């Protein structure tokens, strides 16, 4: 595929987004995802002055922005007060996304503790999650913010800690229950490669995908390897995205890589982007 058709993005992990615009643009990227877990980008740091500066720079360089809320967030927590705090955080993120003109918010959808045989624990956690999202989505609609839930990798066998969204069935259930047009999917192809495979997610949720996280692994663990260093067939994957006419943003999630290093990775190991 031609490079111009794909919108490539990088993460603001190493340094604040304000310090990334020039290098990001020079490296051929046109999207930055802000990781709100990082100390330099915690949600409380975005006062009016900082927001104005970021919006100004994003416009100047023609770079779009998205937010990734901390993966530790658990809107399906069993304890009501904790769940309410998670909902409040998500609402703050929605308001920030609106102010900063973000394309979307990406979030993991939670976890629970139990035993592999306790199938009812997952069901209960999913129901709590639905209640939480039902409180946040009206705000998303009012502020025209897209909330993208991210598929995740399964925990190791025999673990007593379980992620929600580590399988297609969970996502099917969530989307069937919540009809909001503001609820979308961030497809993490690396995570998908550790379970059903990214092609199945594309086939099932083509109309929900608003963002894609790209990194590689060997199909067993969430290793976040450089593209081309794992088992994902990127040629086939690119054809699938072309079929559904999805061209980005593709956020390069090889951690602790600068935009320039990310570009070098892609040019060395992948000619599709």
The answer to whether the CB of 53 falls within 8 A of the CB of 89 is: no
Instruction: For residues 6-27, give the mean pLDDT.
Output: 90
pLDDT digits (tens, 9 = 90+) for 117-158: 778 899 999 999 999 999 999 999 999 999 999 999 988 888
The answer to whether the CB of 208 falls within 8 A of the CB of 175 is: yes
3-state secondary structure of 155: coil
Note the pLDDT of residue 269.
Answer: 63
pLDDT band for position 1 (50/70/90)?
very low
Note the pLDDT of residue 257.
Answer: 72
- Cα-atom radius of gyration of the chain, to the nearest Å? 18
Question: Strands 209-214 and 183-188, how do they pair?
Answer: parallel
Note the pLDDT of residue 272.
Answer: 53
Choice among 72-81, 104-113, 226-235 with the minimum mean pLDDT? 226-235
User: For the whole model, what pTM was predicted?
Assistant: 0.92
pLDDT digits (tens, 9 = 90+) for 212-235: 999 999 999 999 988 888 999 988
pLDDT digits (tens, 9 = 90+) for 187-202: 999 999 999 999 999 9
Instruction: For residues 74-98, give the mean pLDDT.
Output: 97
pLDDT digits (tens, 9 = 90+) for 33-62: 999 999 999 999 999 999 999 999 999 999
Domain boundaries, the chain: 10-215+230-255
Which ranges of the chain does DSSP label H, i.e. alpha helix?
A: 21-26, 48-61, 80-100, 119-143, 168-177, 189-193, 198-205, 234-243, 259-269
Read off the tokens for 133: 């999202």
In this structure, which CATH number among 3.50.50.100, 3.40.50.2300, 3.20.20.150, 3.40.720.10 belongs to the domain 10-215+230-255? 3.20.20.150
Burial of 181 (0-12, 13-18, 19+ CB in 10 A): exposed
Note the pLDDT of residue 164.
Answer: 95
The angle subtended at Cα 188 by Cα 93 and Cα 183, nearest 5°, is 45
Question: Angle, nearest 10°, between helix axes 234-243 and 198-205?
Answer: 0
Calculate the average pLDDT of the chain: 91
Residue holding tokens 């990334």? Answer: 20
């Amino acid at each position: 595929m031609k490079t111009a058709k794909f919108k490539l993005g990088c993460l603001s992990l190493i340094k604040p987004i304000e310090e990334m615009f020039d290098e990001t643009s020079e490296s051929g990227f046109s999207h930055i995802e802000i990781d709100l877990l990082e100390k330099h980008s915690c949600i409380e740091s975005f006062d009016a002055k900082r927001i104005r500066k970021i919006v100004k720079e994003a416009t100047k360089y023609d770079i779009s922005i998205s937010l990734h809320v901390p993966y530790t967030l658990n809107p399906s927590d069993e304890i009501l007060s904790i769940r309410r705090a998670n909902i409040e955080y998500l609402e703050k993120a929605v308001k920030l996304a609106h102010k900063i003109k973000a394309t979307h918010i990406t979030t993991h959808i939670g976890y629970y503790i139990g035993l592999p045989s306790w199938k009812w624990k997952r069901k209960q956690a999913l129901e709590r999650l639905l209640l939480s999202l039902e409180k946040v989505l009206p705000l998303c609609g009012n502020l025209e913010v897209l909330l993208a839930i991210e598929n995740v990798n399964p925990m190791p066998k025999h673990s007593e800690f379980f992620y929600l969204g580590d399988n297609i069935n969970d996502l099917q259930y969530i989307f069937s229950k919540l009809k909001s047009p503001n609820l979308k999917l961030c497809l993490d192809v690396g995570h998908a490669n550790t379970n059903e495979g990214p092609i199945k997610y594309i086939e099932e949720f083509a109309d929900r995908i608003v963002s894609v996280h790209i990194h590689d692994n060997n199909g067993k663990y969430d290793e976040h390897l450089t593209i081309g260093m794992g088992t994902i067939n990127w040629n086939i994957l690119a054809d699938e995205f072309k079929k559904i006419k999805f061209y980005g943003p593709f956020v390069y999630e090889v951690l602790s890589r600068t935009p320039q290093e990310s570009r070098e990775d892609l040019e060395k190991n992948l000619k599709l982007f």
